[in-house]
Amino acid sequence: MKKIVSLVLVLIMVLSFAACGAKPTAKFVISDAVNDAVLYEFEAEIVKDKTAGEMIEEYLTENGVEYTVYDGDMIGSIGELEQDAENWTVYWACYYNSEYAQVGLWGYEPAEGDLIEVKFEESTW
């Protein structure tokens, strides 16, 4: 009987430690919607007070990808893809959980399981 109780306790401890090791993450997808191509896809650990923009900057910097920030809160360019800030024929759009963003990347703090999409799109206006 003692062996069974001990085995159950060990199993509970192992499962508890495994659950503690899982850190909350958000998924990021950066794509070229004009050419229907995914450029970058990654998951990032959720850190209190860290914005989606900071997470994207960190990923791009770590991977040697050049980028610019426009107006302090939006992507201006990633690699060779640059928005047309004069005529807005092409631009970087953001979506949070498949909904068009109402706040810029540096104003949004992702939650566990969020999907943050940054898409290079053509203007339809």
Strands 25-32 and 115-122: parallel
Q: Give Cα 15 distance to the centre of its chain.
A: 28
- Name the β-bridge partners of 37: 32
Domain boundaries, the chain: 23-122
Torsion, CA 69, CA 75, CA 81, CA 84, rounded to 10: -90
Phi and psi of 46, rounded to 5°?
-75, 125
Give the percent of the chain with pLDDT over 90.
Answer: 73
pLDDT digits (tens, 9 = 90+) for 73-98: 889 999 999 999 888 999 999 999 99
Q: What's the CATH code, domain 23-122?
A: 2.170.130.30
* pTM: predicted TM-score of the whole model, two decimal places: 0.80
Strands 37-45 and 25-32: antiparallel
